[in-house]
């Protein structure tokens, strides 16, 4: 809040405020570490003197130059108890003249990054908002805005960047919690944009062709006879859904979600066998070598004796074994590849890849 100015005589420890004074002393101290220490003071009508210390542990030469003796500075920050009374560490400050007007709006604070400071960001954003009001044109149909009692898009953006001072306590609380109607409007637009993007992505994916993986079901039945347990209703349901998607001529993207030990691996194995029965190869990737090796051992034991060749590929494999695994995949000798990110490195070829499981 840069709309209010607290006299130096009324500065209290523990408050966040803006105050103003004249630089009476500035020096670089070296204890406990290098720092710029500046003292500002103000003399009231009765001759009383009040002061505040400004402390900078990281500073630039131009800051030291600006804080010259006699300069009038306006500072903003958190007041704490220092060695010589109240002080502000790394305050925001600017040189002003006596009686300089205050801001008429609250000052925005943006996330910054190296090389892009707060003041620069404020100027760029303010210039951008003022340069082309058309950028803030309404993005939603009027009926949607009315039905959901939403703020206008331009009003919401302007309010959040330059909220008026003296906000009611409830309004300020809603702004801080990001539940204010202005925030609600931006969140709504973000969700709509996300959903439209997903819908457009799905429509584009539907236009692409994918191999039809019908399978015969023979290998799947043999696997189920080997695993030693009956699939749950949920496993049976999702297996049918995946099988249906694999039989379509459009690419499938599916998230299989379940707790640890819920049986996701066997569902993935059944989908892999459907692809293999259709003359395709399958890549099964795990994020860590330990997990990938666990999957490899389990799948290899399940498929042992079936007409399915499983290849193991990881970055830690000896060069000779890694080369042999790549050759088996490139020739089609191995239909099922299990491994880490090494599966997707240059030099790994799977000419008949039909299904990727990550």
Tell me the per-residue pLDDT of 295-311, one tens digit each, with 9 for 90 and over.
999 999 999 999 999 99
- 351-to-327, 328, 333, 354 alpha-carbon distances in Å: 11, 11, 11, 9
Residue 87 confidence class, pLDDT cut points 50, 70, 90: very high
What's the chain's average pLDDT? 90
Residue 103 confidence class, pLDDT cut points 50, 70, 90: confident
Spatial neighbors of 322 by CB under 8 A, at least 6 apart, are 313, 342
The least confident of 22-36, 262-276, 342-356 is 22-36
The least confident of 95-99, 130-134, 149-153, 213-217 is 130-134
Per domain, the residue ranges of the chain are: 8-104, 134-206, 218-357
Q: What is the 3-state secondary structure (H, E, C) of 123-149?
A: HHHHHHHHHCHHHHCCCCCHHHHHHCC
Higher pLDDT, 156 or 99: 156
So what's the pLDDT on residue 223?
95
Residue 334 confidence class, pLDDT cut points 50, 70, 90: very high
So what's the pLDDT on residue 128?
86
So what's the pLDDT on residue 358?
94
pLDDT at 227 over 80: yes
Residue 178: phi and psi, rounded to 5, are 60, 35
CATH topology of domain 218-357: Rossmann fold (3.40.50)
* Beta-carbon-side half-sphere exposure of residue 90 (alpha carbons within 13 Å): 4
Map tokens 């999702």 to a residue: 238
Whose CA is closest to 72, among 136, 123, 5? Answer: 5
pLDDT (mean) for 65-79: 91
| Separation of alpha carbons 144 and 250, rounded Å | 34
pLDDT at 132 over 90: no
pLDDT at 99 over 90: no
Question: Is the CATH code 2.40.50.140 the one for domain 8-104?
Answer: yes
β partners of residue 95:
73
pLDDT (mean) for 339-346: 90
| Helical ranges in the chain per DSSP H | 61-66, 118-131, 142-147, 153-161, 169-177, 181-206, 218-227, 233-246, 264-277, 289-303, 319-331
Residue 117 confidence class, pLDDT cut points 50, 70, 90: confident
Higher pLDDT, 18 or 261: 18
pLDDT at 267 over 90: yes
So what's the pLDDT on residue 126?
85
Kindly report, residue by residue over 169-211, the tens digit of the pLDDT: 788 788 888 999 999 999 999 999 999 999 999 999 888 999 9
So what's the pLDDT on residue 170?
80
Task: Give the max Cα distance, the chain.
Answer: 100
Residue 351 confidence class, pLDDT cut points 50, 70, 90: very high
Residue 236 confidence class, pLDDT cut points 50, 70, 90: very high
pLDDT at 257 over 80: yes
So what's the pLDDT on residue 176?
83
Same topology for domains 8-104 and 218-357, yes or no? no
pLDDT (mean) for 136-140: 90
Could you tell me if 309 and 335 are in contact, meaning their C-beta atoms sit under 8 angstroms apart? yes
pLDDT (mean) for 212-221: 94
The least confident of 57-66, 295-304, 339-348 is 57-66
């Amino acid at each position: 809040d840069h709309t209010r100015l607290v006299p130096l005589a009324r500065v209290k420890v523990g408050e966040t405020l803006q105050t103003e004074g004249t630089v009476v002393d500035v020096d670089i101290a070296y204890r406990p570490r290098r720092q710029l220490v500046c003292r500002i003071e103000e003399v009231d009508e009765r001759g009383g003197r009040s002061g505040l210390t400004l402390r900078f542990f990281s500073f630039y030469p131009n800051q030291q130059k600006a804080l010259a003796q006699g300069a009038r500075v306006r500072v903003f920050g958190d007041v704490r108890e220092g060695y010589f009374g109240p002080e502000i560490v790394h305050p925001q400050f600017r040189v002003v003249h006596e009686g300089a007007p205050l801001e008429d709006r609250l000052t925005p604070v943006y996330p910054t990054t190296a090389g892009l400071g707060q003041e620069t960001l404020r100027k760029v954003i303010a210039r951008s908002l003022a340069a082309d009001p058309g950028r803030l044109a309404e993005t939603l149909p009027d009926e949607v805005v009315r039905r959901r009692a939403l703020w206008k898009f331009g009003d919401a953006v302007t309010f959040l960047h330059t909220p008026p001072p003296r906000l009611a306590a409830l309004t300020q609380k809603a702004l801080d919690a990001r539940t204010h109607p202005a925030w609600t409007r931006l969140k709504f637009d973000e969700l709509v944009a996300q959903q439209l993007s997903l819908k457009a992505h799905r429509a584009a994916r539907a236009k692409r062709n994918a191999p039809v993986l019908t399978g015969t079901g023979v290998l799947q039945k043999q696997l189920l006879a080997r695993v030693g347990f009956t699939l749950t209703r949920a496993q049976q349901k999702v297996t049918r859904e995946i099988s249906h998607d694999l039989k379509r001529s459009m690419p499938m993207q599916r998230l299989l979600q379940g707790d640890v030990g819920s049986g996701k691996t066997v569902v993935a194995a059944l989908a892999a066998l459907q692809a293999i029965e259709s003359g395709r190869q399958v890549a099964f990737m795990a994020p860590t070598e330990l997990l990938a090796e666990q999957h490899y051992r389990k799948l290899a034991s399940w498929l042992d004796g079936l007409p399915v060749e499983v290849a193991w590929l990881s970055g830690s494999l000896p060069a000779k074994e890694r080369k042999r695994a790549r050759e088996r995949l490139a020739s089609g000798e191995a239909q099922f590849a299990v491994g880490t990110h090494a599966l997707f490195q240059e030099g790994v070829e799977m000419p008949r890849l039909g299904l990727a499981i990550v």
